[in-house]
Amino acid sequence: MPESSPKRVWSWAFFDFANSAFGTLVLTFVFNSYFTKAIAESESVGTMLWGNTVAVASILIAVLSPPLGAAADAFGWKKRFMVVTVTAASLLTAALYLPQPGDVWMALLLFGGALVATELSIMFNNAFLIEVAPKQAHGKVSGMAFALGYFGGLACLFIAMMGFVPGEGKELWFGLTREAGQNVRATNLLVALWFAVFSLPLLLWVKEAKAPQHSAGLIAVARQSFGRINATFHHLREYRQLFWMLIARMFYNDGLVAIFSFGGIYATVVFGFTFKDLMVFGIALNVCSGVGSLVFSFVEDRIGSRITIVISLIGLVIGTVAALFVTTQSGFWVCAIIIGLFLGPNQSASRAYLSRLTPEEKANEFFGFFAFSGKATAFLGPLLYGQMVNLFDSQRAGMTVIPALMALGMLIFIFKTRDEAKPAS
């Protein structure tokens, strides 16, 4: 294993700083709203098409992750795959500048491709953690990267708000105009450049460990990867707490995916948020998530990850249910703050709960399956949200999907799991 060093650790962590711009500006707060308002024929149809695209992309990611991950491990191709996926994600994101009103399928194909490439690059980056830091430092290093990711999304969003979408009457940077949404479309160029530039530390300074000699061919390795998924599923059934945690997580994680995919659209359509409002909204949500994560990082060790997950899910259900009924922007802001405060703690506590219940000798096997299963079902929330909006022509109808998925996941978690200090099987 390569020797750990601060330079390698920071270079690895900065990849979260790089890729967070895509999730913040393209997936959640800016381009998704622009697509439904300006590119699609109507907001309800646009929401449905956006949800379908996220769903299809999630399925592709789930199918591609096991064989590509296995090939990267077997042949030492993590760095190669990262170069390819980062390049593809950056180019496809930059190309999102091109679609104008009416260019629906161009926009969806480019966005879907960029989403798949981004998520695959994140998967390969995660696999580098064991090479850049000793095992006892994984939690600290991973947490540092998570914090950098929040900061990266905030910084990119702030730049976009200042120079690309600063509000009516204010001067735009780089000679941009508001005609045909050029200034909004140009935020994709900012994201693409951000992703490419801040990925360079990892690509330049983190060397990959030499892979052992592997006699099997690429096709055989791909087949073996799906065989391992099946074997892991059967092993997991021997660990009932882990098994039910995984089932519960599938449902409430689908709700989280829907929040990230449609939060900006909901704010725009239902409450009339402008693009500048969305910028401020995104910054506030990221700050609240960071504060929530920080506060619960001190509380979690005292009350346990399981209780933290339950508290966070209760908060998320309350926030999303309230968002269904409020009618003013100020009321929605209160709901958004509640949701933001519990987003980060839910994600971090879920990871901690899984790690504490996972047998050390099966860590790689189980966490690989956790990653696969999260992507395998991530299509459900966006798909249901989009279909509900199209069926009832109402964003509020789509929003009902989110608390329903979270409540179902919470009930399974409460009644089928127990404190992580107890044995896993």
Per-residue pLDDT at 238: 74
Residue 80 lies in a domain: yes
The lowest-confidence range among 35-39, 47-51, 186-190, 279-283 is 279-283
Asked if pLDDT for residue 142 goes beyond 80, the answer is no
Query: In this structure, are residues 410 and 310 in contact, taking their beta carbons and an 8 Å threshold?
Result: yes
The lowest-confidence range among 10-14, 170-174, 297-301 is 297-301
- Rounded mean pLDDT, 111-126: 90
Cα 350 from Cα 309, distance rounded (Å): 7
Residue 424 lies in a domain: no
- Rounded mean pLDDT, 307-332: 94
Domain count, the chain: 1
- At 27, the pLDDT band (50, 70, 90 cuts) reads confident
Cα 144 from Cα 16, distance rounded (Å): 10
- At 382, the pLDDT band (50, 70, 90 cuts) reads confident
- Rounded mean pLDDT, 370-397: 82
Per-residue pLDDT at 424: 43
- Rounded mean pLDDT, 122-143: 71
- At 150, the pLDDT band (50, 70, 90 cuts) reads confident
Q: What string of DSSP letters covers 115-177?
A: HHHHHHHHHHHHHTHHHHS-GGGHHHHHHHHHHHHHHHHHHHHHHHHHHTS--TTSPPGGG--
Per-residue pLDDT at 363: 56
pLDDT in tens, 46-83: 988 998 898 899 888 888 877 777 677 667 777 888 99
Per-residue pLDDT at 77: 74
Per-residue pLDDT at 226: 64
Residue 86 lies in a domain: yes
Range of the domain at 90: 6-416
- At 111, the pLDDT band (50, 70, 90 cuts) reads very high
- Rounded mean pLDDT, 239-249: 84
Distances (CA, A) of 412 to 250, 251, 257, 417: 11, 9, 19, 8
Tell me how far the alpha carbon of residue 286 is from its chain's centroid.
Answer: 13
Per-residue pLDDT at 216: 57
Query: In this structure, are residues 287 and 333 in contact, taking their beta carbons and an 8 Å threshold?
Result: no
- At 422, the pLDDT band (50, 70, 90 cuts) reads very low
The lowest-confidence range among 20-24, 225-229, 311-315, 415-419 is 225-229
- At 187, the pLDDT band (50, 70, 90 cuts) reads very high
Per-residue pLDDT at 1: 47
- Rounded mean pLDDT, 283-312: 81
User: What share of the chain in percent tops pLDDT 90?
Assistant: 29
CATH number of the CATH domain containing 180: 1.20.1250.20
Note the helical H segments in 237-362: 240-271, 275-303, 305-325, 329-357
Cα 14 from Cα 11, distance rounded (Å): 5
Beta-carbon neighbour count of residue 169 at 10 Å?
5
Cα 10 from Cα 12, distance rounded (Å): 5
**Amino acid in the structure at residue 209:** A
pLDDT in tens, 252-276: 988 888 888 788 889 988 998 887 7
Q: What is the pTM of this model?
A: 0.79
* Mean pLDDT for all residues in the chain: 82
User: What share of the chain in percent tops pLDDT 70?
Assistant: 82
Residue 226 lies in a domain: yes
Per-residue pLDDT at 217: 60
- Rounded mean pLDDT, 105-110: 96
Asked if pLDDT for residue 196 goes beyond 90, the answer is yes
Higher-pLDDT residue of 339, 124: 339
